[in-house]
Structure 1
Amino acid sequence: MIDVLVIGGGNAALCAALMAREAGASVLLLEAAPREWRGGNSQHTRNLRCMHDAPQDVLVESYPEEEFWQDLLKVTGGMTDERLARLVIRASATCRDWMRSHGVHFQPSLSGALHTARTNAFFMGGGKALVNAYFRSAEQLGVGVRYNAPVSHIELDGDRFVAAHIGPRHVNGRDLPAERIEARACVLAAGGFESNREWLREAWGQNERGEWTADNFLIRGTRFNTGVLLRGLMEQGADTIGDPTQAHMVAIDARAPLYDGGICTRIDCVSLGVVVNRSGQRFYDEGEDFWPKRYAIWGRLVAQQPGQVGFSIIDQKALGRFMPPVFAGTKANTLGELAQQLGLPEGEFVATVQAYNAACQVGTFDHTRLDDCHTQGVQPVKSHWARPLDTPPFYGYPLRPGVTFTYLGLRTDHTAAVHFAGKPSPNLFVAGEMMAGNVLGKGYTAGVGMSIGTAFGRIAGTQAAAALGYHHPSSEITHDCATA
C-alpha cells in the first residue's frame, strides 16, 4: 500500500508530494489532466509574494511581515484567519531556497508588472517552468505520477481516509475501468470549482431577466477544476469555510477563450484610464490603490454590471505604462467613434468621459506611486493617476469576469488537516485552492495564491508523512506548524 496519496497536479500538490517523499514516505500523485495540460492553475502563474526584511537576490528593499499582513487584511476586509495568514507570510520568507533545490529559478520583476519588484519573486519561465521543474524533481525522487486520473470520490471511515476512487474513463481511444486506490494518508490539492458551470450558476443565481449570471464568466485557468472532491467531502460532513460567490476574479479581455487564457488576457490599464459599463457609465474608483492590490476585485465589479461586461478606456498617454494584453485594443481618433466601435451609447459615453476630464485635478503624475492626480466633483471618484482622456488615439478593451479560483473550501488549521465536526482528521490533509478560503475570505493581492499553496502544500506533505512516523529532515516547516 502507498504511504501518501496526493490528489492534484498543481503547485500545492507538487509541494506536498515532494515534502512527503523527502521525509521518506512512498508517494503517488494523481493528476486529472493529461500530461500536456498538467499543473492546474499554477501553469498560468508568474510569481510568489514574499516577506523579506532586507533585499534578497531578485527582491529589492524590504517587505516585512506586518506590511504583508496589512496588505492582506486590507484586501480581505478582515475576512481571514490571522494565525493561518501569518503562517503563510512567514513561510514565504524561507521557501525559495527549497524551491531552488527542486529546479525552480527566479528572475527580477518584469518591466510592466507594476509595483512588484519589492513584494513578488517572479519564476523564470513562468508557472509552466515551475510546474515542469517540480514534476522532474518528483519523478527523480521516486514519486509515482499518473495522468488522466480524475478522482470521483473519497472513501472514508469516519474522519479517516481509506481510499480514492477513479471512475471509468475514455483515454486516448481506450475505455479504462474504475479503480480503487488505498493509501495510509492523503493530501487533497485538487483545486476549486471554477470550471463547474452548474455550481457557478447555483452560487450566482439569475438576474432580473432570468439569465444565469455565471454564464458570462470566463475561466482563466484549467478546465479540470470541477470541484467534484470538494462537493463530495462537503456531503460527507467535512467542515467548510467561505462564500461560494467569492473568488479570485479578474476583469479580462472579453475576447479571451473560455478556458486557459491565463495571464496574457488580463487587462492591466484600468488604473491609467476609466472603466465604463455597457450604458457608458463609470461604476468604481479606477485609481483606488496600486494595481497588484486591486486587479482581482475588478472581475467581481464587472460581474455586478448589466450583462457582466465592461470597457477599459485609455488614451495615447497610457501606452507603454502597462503590460499589453494578447489582443489589441479597439482604436479610434475620437471618443464618439470609439463608442460606435465598442457598441456603447455614444452620447452617454462621451458625457461620462467629459465629466471625468473636467473633474481631473492637475498634479504630478507618477504611475509608480500613489500620486496626487485625483478627481473632484464626480462620482465615483478616481483617487490616483487621474488624467484627462484628451490625447488621441483612444483605445478600448472589452471586459468580462475571468475566474481564476473559487474560495469556498475545506476548513483546516496550522497542520493542514481536514476538519470534521471541529476535529482534525488523523490522515487526511488539504492544501492549495481547496483551503485558500481560510486565508482569503474575499479579495486578492498579487502572488498570494502561490504563497498559500506553497506554504500549505509543504505543511500538508510533511504532516501526512509525520502521521505515518516519517519526519522531514528540515525542521523549518515542522517548527512553523508547531508555533503558528
Structure 2
Amino acid sequence: MNEVTTDVVVVGAGNAALTAAISAAARGRKVLVLEKAPQSQRGGNSFFTAGATRIAHDGLEDLLDFIDPDDRHGVTIVPPYSQDEYRSDLERITEGRNDPALTEVLISESADALRWLHGLGARYRLMYERQAYDRPDGSYLFWGGLHVGNTGGGVGLIDDLVAIATRLNVTIRYDHAVEDIIVEGDSVVGVRGTRSGAPFEVRADSVILGAGGFEANADKRREHLGEGWQNAKVRGTPFNQGELLDAALAIGAGRGGDWSTCHSVQWDAFSADNESNFELTNRLTRQGYPLGVLVNTAGERFLDEGADFRNYTYAKYGREVLAQPGSTAWQLFDGELRPRLRSEEYDMPGISVVTADTLEELAVAMEVPVDTLVATVSDYNASIDTSVPLDLTVKDGRAARTQPPKSNWAKPLDTAPFYAYAVTCGITFTFGGLKSDTDGRVLREDGSVIPGLFVCGEMLGGLFSANYPGGSGLAAGAVFGRRAGAQA
C-alpha cells in the first residue's frame, strides 16, 4: 500500500475544497488535495457553474477594488445589497430552515472572502449578460441581489484556484478515490482509498471533506429525495456519489440540513449529451422562463413563472418540472420575447426547440393537444393588464390574472414566430450534508467535535432547504472553505 504523510489532506477539488487548501497552505501547512476525477474533468460542480457569487455590498463603488474594469461601469447602476437583505432572502427562500449561525458567517464574510481570493489571483467581474438588462437610455440596471461572478465562469474559477494553489505548493493528486476515513481513538488521522485499483493511505493532522453530495447517484436520490428523482439529469460532475458522506456518518458524524431537497433547474430535455457535459457546462440550463410561459406535455400551465426574480425561483422549479408527466415541460416565447433570451443558453448547438408560425402548428410540433395549448395561451393572453408597463429590471406587477397566475413580466404571446424549448429537471447539488460548527469542524449528533475532521462546500449541511438564493452556494464554498483551512 502506498502511504503518505502530510499536515492537511483535502478531499475534493472544487471551489470550496480548493479554497480550503489555499487557506491552509497560506498558513504554511503542507497540503495534499485528493481528487476522484481525472485532471481533464477536474473542478467538481464548480466547473459547471456560471460563476455567480452572492455577496453583501454597498453598490458599484464598493466593488471596484476587486472586479475587472469595464467601459460599461460608467453607465451602470448596481443597487446595494445589504447584509439584512441577504439574511432576509436566505430565511425567506429556505422557508426559515437555514442555520442562523452559518447564515451570519456567510453574509458577513462573503465579500471579504472574494477580496482575499482576488488578492491571491482570482478574477471577478460584473455579470452583465446574466444579471442586468440594458435600458432604452443606454444604461444598465442590475437586479436580484446577485451581481458579481468569476471571470470566465466556472472554468475560469477553477483555473484561477488551481493556479493559486500550485503557487502555494499545494499538491493535487487526480484519479484518487477516497473511500474511508481513518480514526484512531476518537480522532480522525487520515484517509484511505484507491487509485487505478491500487490502495493508498494518507496520514494527516487534519482531514477536510469537500467532495460534494450524492446528486450523481440515482439510487441515493431516490432514497433521500423520493420516487422520480432517479429520472433527473445530472448537471455537473458525475463523481459526486455520496461515498464520503456515508464514510463520515459511519464514524459518528451527525447529519446536517435537509436531506430531502436539492438544487434543481430547468434543463435541456432532449439534447444528445445533456448530462455532465464538460464542453457546454452551464449552457444546457434554460433560465429565460420568467419572460414566457411554461406548459407541461398536456399543454397546461402549472406554476407562476413570474413569482420572483429568476435568482430566487430557478433552483426549485426543476423539481416542479420533474413532477409533470414524463418529467418534461415546454418554455414558450413569441417573436418579441425571443431576442431577450440569453444567447449562451438559447443559441447553443443541438438545443431542444421547435418553432412555428401559429400556435396550432407549434402544438403539433410539440406533440401536445392542440386545443388545450391554444386555450391555455389564449386565456393567459386575455388575462394580462397591458396598461401596466413591462419592466424586466423590477418586479413590475404586470400580472396574468389566470390560474395559476403569473405575478410579474406577463406579455401576451401573440407575435409570430413562436418558440417552444423542451426542458426537464437538471439536478445541481443536494442540500443535506454533515453537521458542523461555523469553522467547519464536523460534529456528532450530540454536538461534540470529531477531532481532526472538517467539512466545506456541498458536504456542509444546514444553509439551504427546498430552495436557495442564486449565487449563495459558491459564496458559502469560499467562506467555509477558507474557515476550514484556517483551522486545519
Tell me the TM-score normalized by structure 2.
Answer: 0.89
Q: Is the 8 A contact 1:112 1:322 kept in 2?
A: no
Q: CA offsets per residue over residues 293-350 of structure 1, 9 Å max, x none?
A: 2111110111122221111111112122231322263111111111111111111111
Q: CA offsets per residue over residues 329-376 of structure 1, 9 Å max, x none?
A: 311111111111111111111111111111111110011111131122
Which residue of 2 is the match for residue 359 of structure 1? 383
Q: Is the 8 A contact 1:269 1:314 kept in 2?
A: no
Q: Is the 8 A contact 1:104 1:130 kept in 2?
A: yes
Which of 130, 136, 148 is the matching residue for 1:121?
148
Q: CA offsets per residue over residues 86-128 of structure 1, 9 Å max, x none?
A: 2111111212221112321122222243445863312111111
Q: Structure 1: which 5+ residue stretches go unaligned? A: 171-175, 207-212, 465-484
Describe the shift of the 1:146–1:194 C-alpha distance in structure 2 as closer, same or farther (beyond 3 A): same
Describe the shift of the 1:95–1:242 C-alpha distance in structure 2 as closer, same or farther (beyond 3 A): closer
d(CA) in 2 for partners of 1:13, 1:6: 6
d(CA) in 1 for partners of 2:164, 2:357: 53
d(CA) in 2 for partners of 1:158, 1:371: 60
Which residue of 2 is the match for residue 202 of structure 1? 223
Work out whether 1:369 is the aligned partner of 2:368.
Answer: no
Which of 205, 210, 214 is the matching residue for 1:193?
214
Q: Is the 8 A contact 1:191 1:434 kept in 2?
A: yes
Q: One-letter code of the match for 2:79? A: E
d(CA) in 2 for partners of 1:159, 1:8: 24
Which residue of 2 is the match for residue 109 of structure 1? 127
Q: 1:229 Cα shift?
A: 0.5
Work out whether 1:331 is the aligned partner of 2:355.
Answer: yes
Q: Is the 8 A contact 2:296 2:325 kept in 1?
A: yes
d(CA) in 2 for partners of 1:159, 1:422: 14
Which of 75, 100, 119 is the matching residue for 1:82?
100
Q: 1:232 Cα shift?
A: 1.9
Describe the shift of the 1:6–1:214 C-alpha distance in structure 2 as closer, same or farther (beyond 3 A): same
Q: Is the 8 A contact 1:51 1:119 kept in 2?
A: no
Q: One-letter code of the match for 1:323? A: R
d(CA) in 2 for partners of 1:205, 1:288: 25
Shifted more, 314-323 versus 453-462: the winner is: 314-323
d(CA) in 1 for partners of 2:53, 2:296: 32
Q: CA offsets per residue over residues 234-276 of structure 1, 9 Å max, x none?
A: 2332100233331110011112412235321111221111111
Which residue of 2 is the match for residue 183 of structure 1? 204
Secondary structure in 2 aligned to 1:268? coil
Which residue of 2 is the match for residue 415 of structure 1? 439
d(CA) in 2 for partners of 1:135, 1:224: 19
d(CA) in 1 for partners of 2:270, 2:128: 25
CA RMSD, Structure 1 to Structure 2 (Å):
1.7
Work out whether 1:52 is the aligned partner of 2:79.
Answer: no
d(CA) in 2 for partners of 1:110, 1:282: 30
Q: Structure 2: which 5+ residue stretches go unaligned? A: 68-76, 133-141
Which residue of 2 is the match for residue 478 of structure 1? none
Describe the shift of the 1:432–1:215 C-alpha distance in structure 2 as closer, same or farther (beyond 3 A): same
Q: Is the 8 A contact 1:189 1:434 kept in 2?
A: yes
Tell me the TM-score normalized by structure 1.
Answer: 0.89
Identity %: 37
Q: 1:184 Cα shift?
A: 1.0
Q: 1:32-43 counterparts in 2 under 5 A? A: 32-43=36-47
Which of 254, 258, 275 is the matching residue for 1:258?
275
Q: 1:278 Cα shift?
A: 1.2
Q: 1:220 Cα shift?
A: 0.8
Shifted more, 45-54 versus 8-17: the winner is: 45-54
Which residue of 1 is the match for residue 411 of structure 2? 387
d(CA) in 2 for partners of 1:16, 1:151: 17
d(CA) in 2 for partners of 1:422, 1:386: 49
Q: Is the 8 A contact 2:114 2:478 kept in 1?
A: no
Which of 306, 314, 324 is the matching residue for 1:295?
314
Describe the shift of the 1:159–1:189 C-alpha distance in structure 2 as closer, same or farther (beyond 3 A): farther
Describe the shift of the 1:158–1:317 C-alpha distance in structure 2 as closer, same or farther (beyond 3 A): farther
Q: CA offsets per residue over residues 427-456 of structure 1, 9 Å max, x none?
A: 110000001x31112202211100110000
Which of 80, 90, 93 is the matching residue for 1:72?
90
Work out whether 1:233 is the aligned partner of 2:248.
Answer: yes
Which of 312, 317, 324 is the matching residue for 2:331?
312
Q: One-letter code of the match for 2:372? A: E
Which of 422, 429, 432 is the matching residue for 2:454?
429
Q: One-letter code of the match for 2:96? A: G
d(CA) in 2 for partners of 1:129, 1:111: 16
Secondary structure in 2 aligned to 1:439? coil
Which residue of 2 is the match for residue 340 of structure 1? 364
d(CA) in 1 for partners of 2:186, 2:464: 25
